[in-house]
Amino acid sequence: MKKKGLLAALATPVALFTATLVASEKLYNFAFKRVDYVPETSADKQKYADAYWAYVNWLHRQPVQKWQLNRDDAANHLVAQYVPAKTTSHKTVIVSHGYKGDGETMANYAYMFHNMGYNVLLPDDRGHGKSAGKYISFGWQDRRDYLEWIDQVIHKNGANSEIVLFGVSMGGATVEMMSGEDLPSQVKTIIADCGYTSIEEELAYLLKRQFHLPKFPFVPIVSFINRHRMGYFLSDVSSVEQLRHNKLPIFFIHGEKDVYVPSWMLKKNYRAANGPKMMWQVPDATHAESFWLNPAAYEKHVTAFLSRYMPK
């Protein structure tokens, strides 16, 4: 083959490879890079906007305390809002927020638990809100940060603390990933609303559904980028593997019409989980909509679960 012919033959695959790398880099930045604002909710959730802002306004009226971790380390400085119970209580819920949200976006759940007599801690995860971090870890680094939040609750509220871990969407996956850690005895139960099985499966699912792109080669390249920037491969970020080590009572909640984190992920997480477990699939609920469809029913189910494992 002549030199020109060889160059021409090589040009197309090289160009394709380069384009794939560029696209994967853009995908990584789109999905993993922090944003310093909370994106608008989807159009189908706009009908809940007035109720959402009413909960946020309620939160703003509370005697909120600012809690911090690593305050002298700018790269790892984390911030949370703490809402004390109406009357002194040894029960605290740590609420883990969703993707590109922050603690304030969980005001509705804070209101619910506050009315149930709990202290409420609302962290901003790494890469979100007022906390540091260039990238979103999808629960993997956050699970370790939450261990420190747990320690702070115990330090401030006493060794007789009883702690609930609660999260929705990415937050649901975060508390699922925490289930496999060596948790203090003060952590009594876990409630995970619409958490995914793993970030690798979730990314592959959304690539196909939203962008009509295959898992290969994009997910492996994104995983390699993440290994370089965050220190771990996407295959490490698994709720399923962590749930296999769970020992605590865990309550799974999931909308039957969820197409963002499909219900087969709920079933896979549920099957993997060790320890006492319950599951509630909410009819007609889309992603993270279970509370909003019927707040009273949601509170009733949560209360029933907690009363079984955290009696008054």
Euclidean distance between CA atoms 149 and 40, whole angstroms: 28
Q: What is the pLDDT of residue 37?
A: 92
Using CA atoms, how far residue 311 sits from 49, 86, 256, 303, 305, in Å, is 34, 19, 30, 10, 10
**Residue 262, helix vs strand vs coil:** coil
Q: Domain ranges for the chain, please list them.
A: 33-198+237-309
Which one, of 290, 272, 273, lies nearest residue 281 by Cα? 290
Close Cβ partners of 130 (under 8 Å, ≥ 6 residues apart): 79, 102, 124
Q: What is the pLDDT of residue 10?
A: 40
Binning pLDDT at 50, 70 and 90, where does residue 18 land?
A: confident
242 pLDDT higher than 70: yes
H or E segment at 117?
none
Percent pLDDT > 70 in the chain is: 96
Q: What is the DSSP letter of 86?
A: S
In this prediction, residues 6-10 reach a mean pLDDT of 43
Euclidean distance between CA atoms 67 and 12, whole angstroms: 55
Using CA atoms, how far residue 89 sits from 58, 93, 123, 145, 224, in Å, is 20, 11, 20, 24, 46
Average pLDDT over the chain, rounded to an integer? 94
Binning pLDDT at 50, 70 and 90, where does residue 12 land?
A: low
Binning pLDDT at 50, 70 and 90, where does residue 8 land?
A: very low
Q: What is the pLDDT of residue 4?
A: 53
Binning pLDDT at 50, 70 and 90, where does residue 232 land?
A: very high
In this prediction, residues 2-25 reach a mean pLDDT of 67
Q: Any bridge partners for residue 168, and if so which?
A: 193
Q: What is the pLDDT of residue 311?
A: 82
Q: How many CB atoms lie within 10 A of CB 211?
A: 11
Q: Any bridge partners for residue 65, and if so which?
A: 82
Answer for the pair 185, 154: CB distance below 8 angstroms, yes or no.
no
Q: What is the pLDDT of residue 185?
A: 98
Close Cβ partners of 186 (under 8 Å, ≥ 6 residues apart): 150, 153, 154, 159, 160, 161, 162, 163
Which one, of 230, 108, 93, lies nearest residue 157 by Cα? 93
Q: What is the pLDDT of residue 2?
A: 53
Which residue carries 């040894």 as its tokens?
A: 90
Backbone angles phi, psi at 180, to 5 degrees: -90, 0
9 pLDDT higher than 90: no
Q: Which two tokens stand for residue 195?
A: 């958490």
Euclidean distance between CA atoms 261 and 287, whole angstroms: 7
User: Amino acid identity of 164?
Assistant: V
What CATH topology corresponds to 33-198+237-309?
Rossmann fold (3.40.50)
Express each pLDDT in 32-49 by its tens digit: 999 999 998 888 899 999
Express each pLDDT in 156-209 by its tens digit: 999 999 999 999 999 999 999 999 999 999 999 999 999 999 999 999 999 999
Preceding peptide of 217 cis, ω within 30°: yes
pTM check: above 0.75: yes
